[in-house]
Homo-oligomer: A and B are copies of this chain.
Amino acid sequence: MPKLFECALNFSEGRRPEVIEALVGAARGAGAQVLDVAPNPDHHRTVLSLVGTAEVVEEAVRAVTAEALQRIDMNAHRGAHPRMGAVDVVPVVPLSEATMDDAVALARRIGARLAREFELPVFLYEEAASRPERRNLAEVRRGEFEGLAERLAQPGWQPDFGPARPHPTGGAVAVGARTFLVAFNVNLGTADVQVARQVARAVRAKSGGLASVKAIGLELAGRHQVQVSMNIVDPFATPLYRAFELVRIEAARYGVPIVGSEIVGLIPMAALAEVARYYLRLEGFGDSQVLESRLWGA
């Protein structure tokens, strides 16, 4: 099985279908398999999930960037989501046989290439970061496109690759490596959003909860429910069942039950198998016992 990588590239266009199609077409033209295209008009942003070998992912990111720089002008871009570039974020995720070291190496190669070919300032983030204060994407993107010239002139904020000035229409790009993230939302049987917020606070890493969980509490308008909306940034370190059971335990102190949950987007098979392993108390169950893994492995 070859080493494969996922790349959930975020670009700053979520409204014009012809532009989105052109960028997706560029990725396909480079040989990448497109897993998902999720445009958000409010965010004016699209998440393009693609998969391929290191070579294919590198070529696809290059091709999408070339297309984006021709079609997107950040000076005219307004959207609800923070952003600093036409191609805003390029996270590289190791799949199957690939390791995090492989993903970091690929992210650095992509970053160097985008800087060289397009004169884009490139910041490396998360596992690919060159220094601790650049691990957090929100920190890297602080000030957004509009504040970029000033940011790049600050001491300590020279880009990892490329010029210390914004691309005139394309801004800058963050290229990183991370594990596969699972978006997992748990709905609670109350209309009181304060309960969701309290539970989110209890389960997330930064306020004493589970190591790889980010969480916020939201209202679900029209459902008379609230939601603990989580990103599980390492679903192998913190399995879904653990997050689910901790939400249950924390909600119970308010007398509030879990009424449902959802996985947004994709989940690795092994993360799903871990849920079955826990609840069925399975002994010695290997992922290779999943019929389809035999098929896929061939």
Residues of A participating in the B interface, judged by any CB pair closer than 8 Å = 4, 6, 33, 35-36, 51, 95-96, 180, 187, 240-241, 244, 258-263, 265-269, 272-273, 275-276, 279-285, 289-296, 298
Contact = CB atoms under 8 A, between A and B. Distances in A.
10 contacts: A4-B295, A6-B291, A33-B295, A33-B298, A36-B294, A244-B279, A260-B282, A269-B291, A269-B293, A272-B290
A272 B268 CA distance: 13
Contacts of A258: 281
Copies of this protein in the assembly total 2
Contacts of A276: 240, 272, 275-276
Contacts of A294: 33, 35-36, 51, 266
Given A4-B295, A269-B290, A269-B292, 13 more contacts: A36-B294, A95-B291, A95-B295, A259-B281, A260-B281, A260-B282, A261-B281, A262-B285, A263-B282, A267-B289, A268-B292, A269-B269, A276-B276
B266 A282 contact: no
Given A260-B282, A280-B244, A180 B291 contact: yes
